[in-house]
Structure 1
Amino acid sequence: MRAWARSLAAILFGLIGGAMSAQTSDLVSGSAFRVCADPANYPVSTKDGAGYENRLAEFFADKLDLPLRYEYYPMTTGFVRNTLRANKCDVVIGYAQGHELVLNTNHYFTSAYSVIVPADGPLSDVATLSDPRLDGLRLGIVAGSPPATHLARNGLIAKARPYHLVVDSRHATPIPDMLDDLEAGEIDAAVAWGPIAGPLVKADHPGLKVTPLLQEELPPRLFFRITMGVRQGEKVWQRQLNSLIRRNQDEINEILASAGVPLVNDMGTDLLDPGL
């Protein structure tokens, strides 16, 4: 290809790419901070605004100087398709890093699966699923979640009580049910995602203790970095949110910690605040 032809092709590709970028960016509302959320996923998000993601959404809307608007849909199969991809909203406040359904922002916190036990009981200092004190006990576990593999490896599955992984949160509440069963003595310990279990324990179960599982050496990993999710291709919007995260990380941490979310370092090896 001659030099002038190559130059023309480069210009055309640049114009097309710029037009596509503008087109995807145009989908983001300039009149409201439009959030895709589960209406009944306490303590994460709720229609009455009681979840910590609701507080994060309010915080970001204020920083953007935009009114906050929600598109509610249960966090089940079809959530992204019926909210973000349908252009009914522009951001999912909490989404695990690396998920192909969305374009991830930079992560704004890291947390881990945790073991929950009575605070004044004999298991209060258990920190690993290989602890021999768990042998023969009844553990609550969300079926299909990463810690289930660790329970199986340590011979704890046979007596475990499974709770559903994917549910319509308007009709089923597996982790609140698990914690209720723990307090009632129907199970001896619970293993659950810290950002759900931690706030529930802080708000409703003061007699329980949440310990992030940070000492497991074998896969699968039990810590995850949490981002916001936007539509694929919306790089301008992604960069804007990344800038907000970077400039307001301390305030974000404060919102999460005050809710009871266990925050850990990026490598999942230590708590950011031992007092959480």
Structure 2
Amino acid sequence: MKAVAAIALLLLLGSCGLGQREITACADPNNMPFSNEAGQGLENKLSEMIATDLGAKLNYVWWAQRRGYVRNTLNERKCDFWPGVASGLEMLATSRPYYRSTYVFVTRERDSLGGLTLDDPRLRKLKIGVQLVGDDANNTPPAHALSARGMVDNVHGYMLYGDYGRPNPPAAILDAVERGDVDVALVWGPLAGYFAPQSTIPLRLEPVTPWFADQQWPMQFDISVGVRKDDQKLLKEIDRILIRRSADVRKLVETYRVPIAAQ
């Protein structure tokens, strides 16, 4: 009878949901189309998919994606995974890619600036916007590519970090094209793909080419989910989910109008 009672107690505790697995995502609270505190971003939705498939409760650690992000979140064990990282990032173990995107030229359709390349002579006569991380070697690939071609005086920088006092600070570079502050902007594809349709004027998006002319600064990247290097169990679980739910992940990426780059 004691054994039966013990089994009944275990079943009761299980039915109460005690011991449910929990998993914590690292996320930026104000960085659409990737994530925000309202859970509206692509990475929010992917995190929900991962948690659901693991049968886990999803929690978040909100942290602005400044320098030191990985060190202060994932590697401090404050969270378990970070979706939306470049595949092969050295500080982390990364999953199989779930999309590959590219930097794009963003111009106003009325200006008829289609067919631009990094080596197009028209660029030297235009006001150009680029996304910046800082003023050192950690800058974005387009900033380096333009600098290597001697284009500096006609280039205007827009910080990826931006002013957190306003919503979606990285979108400021798209606003600059819309207002006419710059003629062309070189923007990470997912950001441009999401915000360009919200512009009050039609904008043209075209992949930055040649995408691999400067081998140190490619314009296309595979995007993965990152985990701590010592958490190979979770990495394998996430890989299995990305394979099993590949059609759903592809649909999710399409919903956010991410420009897909073919390898």
- TM class, shorter-length: 0.7 to 0.9
Partner of 1:133: 122
**Paired-residue identity, %:** 30
Asked if the contact 1:202/1:259 (under 8 Å) is kept, the reply is no
Q: Secondary structure at the match of 2:110?
A: coil
- 2-side partners of 1:215 and 1:113: how far apart? 11
RMSD: 2.2
- 1-side partners of 2:48 and 2:165: how far apart? 23
Partner of 1:187: 182
Q: Structure 1 residues 37 and 250, CA, compared in 2 at 3 Å: closer, same or farther?
A: same
Asked if the contact 2:30/2:168 (under 8 Å) is kept, the reply is no
Q: Deviations over 1:187-207 (max 9, x none)?
A: 101111111121111344561
- 2-side partners of 1:198 and 1:189: how far apart? 15
Deviation at 1:73, TM superposition (A): 0.7
Normalised by the size of structure 1, how large is the TM-score? 0.78
Q: Which among 209, 222, 236 is matched to residue 219 of structure 2? A: 222
Q: What code does the residue aligned with 1:213 have?
A: V
Q: Which among 41, 49, 53 is matched to residue 51 of structure 1? A: 41
Partner of 2:171: 176
Partner of 1:11: none
Partner of 1:25: none
Equivalences for residues 13-162 of structure 1 within 5 A: 31-123=21-113, 125-143=114-132, 144-162=139-157
Deviation at 1:264, TM superposition (A): 1.4
Q: Structure 1 residues 176 and 153, CA, compared in 2 at 3 Å: closer, same or farther?
A: same
Deviation at 1:47, TM superposition (A): 0.4
Query: How many residues in Structure 1 have an aligned counterpart in Structure 2?
Result: 237
Structure 1 residue 246 corresponds to structure 2 residue 243: yes
Partner of 2:233: 236
- 1-side partners of 2:67 and 2:122: how far apart? 38
Asked if the contact 2:93/2:228 (under 8 Å) is kept, the reply is yes
Normalised by the size of structure 2, how large is the TM-score? 0.82
Partner of 1:211: 206
For structure 2, the 5+ residue unaligned runs are: 1-18, 133-138
- 2-side partners of 1:42 and 1:96: how far apart? 17
Asked if the contact 2:128/2:154 (under 8 Å) is kept, the reply is yes
Q: Structure 1 residues 168 and 200, CA, compared in 2 at 3 Å: closer, same or farther?
A: same
166-175 or 53-62, which moves further after superposition?
A: 166-175
Deviation at 1:102, TM superposition (A): 1.2
Q: What code does the residue aligned with 2:230 have?
A: G
Q: Structure 1 residues 197 and 30, CA, compared in 2 at 3 Å: closer, same or farther?
A: farther
Q: Structure 1 residues 203 and 168, CA, compared in 2 at 3 Å: closer, same or farther?
A: same
Q: Secondary structure at the match of 2:181?
A: coil
Q: What code does the residue aligned with 2:46 have?
A: L
Asked if the contact 1:112/1:214 (under 8 Å) is kept, the reply is no
- 2-side partners of 1:225 and 1:115: how far apart? 19
Deviation at 1:77, TM superposition (A): 2.1
Q: What code does the residue aligned with 1:202 have?
A: P
- 1-side partners of 2:210 and 2:25: how far apart? 35
Q: Structure 1 residues 150 and 53, CA, compared in 2 at 3 Å: closer, same or farther?
A: same
Q: What code does the residue aligned with 1:239 have?
A: K
